[in-house]
Amino acid sequence: MTRLSDIKGPAIFVAQYLADDPPFNSLEGICQWASNNGYRGLQLPIDPRLIDIKRAATDLDYCNSIQAVFINHGVQLTELSSHLQGQLIAVHPAYDALFDGFAPAHLHNNPKARQEWATEIVCLAAKASKNLNLKAHATFSGALAWPYFYPWPQRPVGLVETAFKELAARWKPILDVFDECGVDLCYEIHPGEDLHDGISFERFLEAVDHHPRACILYDPSHFVVQCLDYLSFIDTYHDRIKAFHVKDAEFRPDGRQGVYGGFSDWTQRAGRFRALGDGQVDFKGIFGKLMQYGYGGWAVLESECPFKDKHVCAAEGAAIMKSFIPVMSTGSFDDFAKAPVDQKGIDKLLGL
């Protein structure tokens, strides 16, 4: 039996738009900006300019005041995002200095305290999501094994297994908090994270005993740059896909570089993100598959194009997304030819 569903949208992830100047430095301003650009929803990063996450985890009146801002501007809060904090749940020492900037200054050069802080924030996000009546939350898994993703030098037996065991040990208590709150924890499957493709997600899922709240934020752009079949991915993992980033990408290899990119920056890589509509992603195929499998969540634009101005991407994105979002059929296309046959007639047709 098909499970057709309506996909909600267009929405936009506003992390890349935050700034210290209006309208991008306040919830009121960014909601108005998104509404003016034709968006119906916003995915909100945990940032003190937009939300006091500790207060949101405990104060229903405060959460109601947040929702009132959205309602006032005719938009909805789709999910909270703890991408930066989730990254800090697991950091290989090679990346300590680079990721310290994701945490408050007093935690720099203290990986243990940084991890404890990140764990607290992500758990608060679960409680805040419950208070805000949200069903999903977006994050990163972090990475302990990523420096060893290519099997040279030869990996010691047990290295990958140990890394995923430790990753699961750090996330399992957090997943339990999300379960208590009735919120799905959606890991963005992303290069640089230990959860970067289907196999690595399966490793993690097994390590957390197939936890019901261990879910996926599906973003096809990260599969294009890995040459992974992003449509088949939906066929395989649709039951775990609970959040969706609409981000375009392209992969154009030549005789000098391929997937690894030769240490080039984003404008020069063979695989790179593009403004919506400028890349190679088959979004009509994606939206059709998600609808087929019953995905009823939000479609959320993310803009990370190295060529086109992000404000142009936002202005163009809403209209393009609307063209992708199908309106669910209320009947079958051939209902006009349906014959009125009851059970007795069916039995007769089958010779029963």
Reading the block at residue 332, the tokens are 């079958």
Residue pLDDT, tens place only, 108-124:
999 999 999 999 999 99
* Best CA proximity match to 222, nearest among 260, 250, 263: 250
Decide: 57 and 131 in contact? Cβ < 8 Å: yes
> Mean pLDDT over residues 297-316, rounded?
97
CA distance 275 to 6: 24
Residue 329 has pLDDT above 70, yes or no: no
What are the residue ranges of helices labelled H in the chain?
27-36, 53-56, 60-72, 83-87, 96-99, 111-131, 159-181, 198-207, 221-224, 230-237, 283-292, 310-324, 343-349
The residue to which tokens 């375009």 are assigned: 248
Residue pLDDT, tens place only, 9-23:
999 999 999 999 999
Burial 268-285 (b: 16+ CB within 10 A, else e): ebbbbbbbbbbbebebee
The predicted pLDDT at position 1 comes to 39
Decide: 300 and 243 in contact? Cβ < 8 Å: yes
The predicted pLDDT at position 346 comes to 84
Q: How confident is the model at residue 131 (pLDDT cuts 50, 70, 90)?
A: very high
CA distance 10 to 73: 15
Residue pLDDT, tens place only, 30-60:
999 999 999 999 999 999 999 999 999 999 9
Decide: 93 and 145 in contact? Cβ < 8 Å: no
Number of other residues whose CB lies within 10 A of the CB of residue 206: 11
Instruction: Work out the percent of the chain whose per-residue pLDDT is above 90.
Output: 91
Decide: 10 and 322 in contact? Cβ < 8 Å: yes
Longest CA–CA separation in the chain, Å: 79
Would you say domain 8-349 falls under CATH 3.20.20.150? yes
Strand pairing category for 271-274 and 248-251: antiparallel
User: Is the model's pTM score more than 0.75?
Assistant: yes
Q: With the C-alpha atoms ordered 191, 266, 47, 97, is the resulting torsion angle positive or negative? A: positive
Residue 76 has pLDDT above 70, yes or no: yes
Task: Based on DSSP, count helices (H) and strands (E) in the chain, helices before strands.
Answer: 13, 10
H or E stretch covering 249: strand 248-251
> Mean pLDDT over residues 214-234, rounded?
98
Q: How confident is the model at residue 4 (pLDDT cuts 50, 70, 90)?
A: low
The predicted pLDDT at position 3 comes to 61
Residue pLDDT, tens place only, 252-306:
999 999 999 999 999 999 999 999 999 999 999 999 999 999 999 999 999 999 9
Residue 95 has pLDDT above 70, yes or no: yes
Q: With the C-alpha atoms ordered 117, 122, 126, 131, is the resulting torsion angle positive or negative? A: positive
* Structural domain spans, the chain: 8-349
